[in-house]
Structure 1
Amino acid sequence: MGSLTNLLLPAVLFFALGFVARVIKSDLRFPPDLAKVLSIYLLMAIGLHGGYELAKADIMTAVNSIVWALVLGFTLPIIGYIALVLTRKVNPMDAAAISAHYGSVSAGTFLTAIAYLDSAGVSYETYPLIMLAVMESPAIIVGLLLAAKARMSLAARDDVVAAGDGTTAMSADDGNENDAHSMAALLRDAFTNGSVVVLIGSMIIGAISTPSGMEKLFPFIDDIFMGVLCLFLFDMGMVAARRIGDFRKVGLVLAAFGVLMPLLGGVVGAYVGFAILDFSVGGATLVAVLGASASYIAVPPAMRLAVPEANPSFYLTLSLGITFPFNVLVGIPLYHSLVQSMAMSG
């Protein structure tokens, strides 16, 4: 019944409607900037909520949540990168860009999980909201570092070839200096990404605002929240249907990665949430969803800008065309059932 309940959520049904609208070649289109506005609103709303709850939270639990959010954010993309490289079907630059998506988080998937738990009457802690804000940047940083490492390896190989041909190669000092400048710029971009700024900035505002001031905002960030989420997922359904056409370009190996990696991340997240952070079933389910989700808002533009050598059809098709629908339709109830099993066995 849990899976059926998830399928019948209005937000999920609007995702399906958008998908079908694209498949039947409807002329329905969202205004170009509307998706950005909806994304900013959703990030701002969850950031304000996270900050408001953080101000009331137990400081040690909050710190532990942040620490484990960083652990997940830095570790999962490295696991994904190693797995992709070992397949020998993906070059290091594509592997770096793809893995960054799977260490970061999907706000849309997380919000759908909240709607799923709310519809099932399952309570949850608010600490995963803090983890959501924290986990955006680490994976981007890891992806950029892995790409830089791959780029340096390719440059070193080219230098060896050039030297063998008698061509003048750039000095090692010049290369190291350029790499240092590039790395500093990449790190700055990772920390100043728009999604990260909105999410963390809203969380800070929610944490330092007066309770009376926040109460006046609740109609804006609560009452219309689900309606905005439906619009957002409606648009995402159309985008996912457009990307699913690139499936043949991705190949069976990458398609399998798009399902197996979220399953692995979900299991790791469930264990961290339930066994380490000692969250309730609802809270641990949200951590599992964080571990399982793949970013399609913050990471793609960062990779497109900083890793132009990577193929966008690979990471966009995987994150938005395969992993996002899988998590929304199958993964969320599956992770919830996994945490329930852990609770029963514990």
Structure 2
Amino acid sequence: MSISSILVPAVLFFALGMFACIIKSDLKFPPDMHKMIVIYLLVGIGLHGGKALSEASMSSAIPAVMAALLLGFGLPIVAYLIMRFLGRIDPMNSAAIAAHYGSVSAGTYMTAVAFLNGISVDYEAYPVIMLAIMESPAIIIGLILAGYSRRILAAQQSSIGGPAVAAVEGDGHQKGMLKHLVIESFTNGSILLLFGSMAIGSIINETNMHKIEPFFDTIFMGALCLFLLDMGMEAGKRIYEFKDVGIFLVIFGVIMPIIGATAGILIGHFWLQYSIGGVTLVTVLAASCSYIAVPPAMRLAVPEANPSFYLTLSLGLTFPFNVLVGIPIYYGAAQWLAYNY
């Protein structure tokens, strides 16, 4: 794989954004432009995914749904155990951070799509279903872990004469919060756009699809470049916050995506039996980390956690790692696995 295939324009614009922030340039996006670009990209992904799904058997999508649920529920637990028993991170911060690493990054997925398109590699449509599904399980697990941690702390307080009533009230509050956030995660704007656009793409006919393709196809990669330019500037702002998160969490921010990628590549190749491109996308989903939907959910549900920890890790470390380094490595690993197994 040549250097030119790795240095796709989207990745280069991300690097430009980081560089602009590091040198303290006055470059910045107009207000709300980021949201407009995200909406456009999500609709574009959904339409193309829906079109591809309309040509496939829906029964063949069931394994992708099961894989998404397995990764969405399993990876946060792995992340939590690593932080608690290896890093000795306090339980509330561990729960909040773990939720981010079971969820997904649409930006990382879109960059992977751009990478595969740049080297003319085909891929299945099913990973876009996994993208839409994996957000919610991680939030649920994060809340369960936070609730479990609160009960443990309450039990410890009561054993030394602390207030036990707060534990009962906190438990009831946690159940109400869980219900609220589960509903909110399924009505989240990003999820709604993905599912809605997929539905539209699957039911409109070829003639109507051709009418909108110039807008959602021809300029898609240009919009992605602008999105990653903005994300590069956001990631650059987090570089200066690494001193606050500690060396273990910095190491965790690189190791955890590799652990997720390992699970993703094995599931994509041996269970789902996708092509090299499809396995790459499943691997990217498992390696990614949410920086849009999960942070506000954790800030609401786990106020005891420090937002600078999970925001710095997700946006300042794991996202740049995946975009600049991870995606080519995941593709190379999927290629090696396809040729050897």
TM-score by length of 2: 0.94
Letter in 2 for 1:55: S
CA contact (8 A) 1:54 1:130 kept: no
Aligned to 1:142: 141
Q: How does 1:167-246 map to 2 (within 5 A)?
A: 169-170=164-165, 176-246=171-241
**CA RMSD in angstroms, aligned pairs only:** 1.9
Aligned to 1:105: 104
1:28 aligned counterpart, secondary structure: coil
* Shift, 1:213, TM fit: 2.6
TM-score by length of 1: 0.92
* Shift, 1:258, TM fit: 0.8
Which stretches in structure 1 are left out of the alignment for 5+ residues? Answer: none
CA contact (8 A) 1:78 1:142 kept: yes
Query: Alpha carbons of 1:159 and 1:183: their partners in 2 closer, same or farther (altered >3 Å)?
Result: farther
Q: Distance in 2 between matches of 1:76 and 1:226?
A: 30
Which stretches in structure 2 are left out of the alignment for 5+ residues? Answer: none
Letter in 1 for 2:44: A
* Shift, 1:303, TM fit: 1.5
1:305 pairs, out of 300, 306, 326, with 300
CA contact (8 A) 1:3 1:333 kept: no
Q: Distance in 2 between matches of 1:308 and 1:2?
A: 46
Residues paired across the two proteins, number: 341
Which stretch of structure 1 is more off in the superposition, 231-240 or 125-134?
A: 125-134
Q: Does 1:260 align with 2:255?
A: yes
Q: Distance in 1 between matches of 2:216 and 2:42?
A: 10
CA contact (8 A) 1:2 1:333 kept: no
Q: Does 1:11 align with 2:10?
A: yes
2:136 aligned counterpart, secondary structure: helix
Query: Alpha carbons of 1:176 and 1:83: their partners in 2 closer, same or farther (altered >3 Å)?
Result: closer
Query: Alpha carbons of 1:136 and 1:250: their partners in 2 closer, same or farther (altered >3 Å)?
Result: same
Query: Alpha carbons of 1:257 and 1:3: their partners in 2 closer, same or farther (altered >3 Å)?
Result: farther
1:78 aligned counterpart, secondary structure: helix
Q: How does 1:118-137 map to 2 (within 5 A)?
A: 118-137=117-136
Which stretch of structure 1 is more off in the superposition, 71-80 or 113-122?
A: 113-122
Aligned to 1:316: 311
1:280 pairs, out of 251, 270, 275, with 275
Q: Distance in 1 between matches of 2:104 and 2:167?
A: 37
CA contact (8 A) 2:87 2:248 kept: no
% identity of equivalent residues: 55
Q: Distance in 1 between matches of 2:224 and 2:167?
A: 51
CA contact (8 A) 2:75 2:102 kept: yes
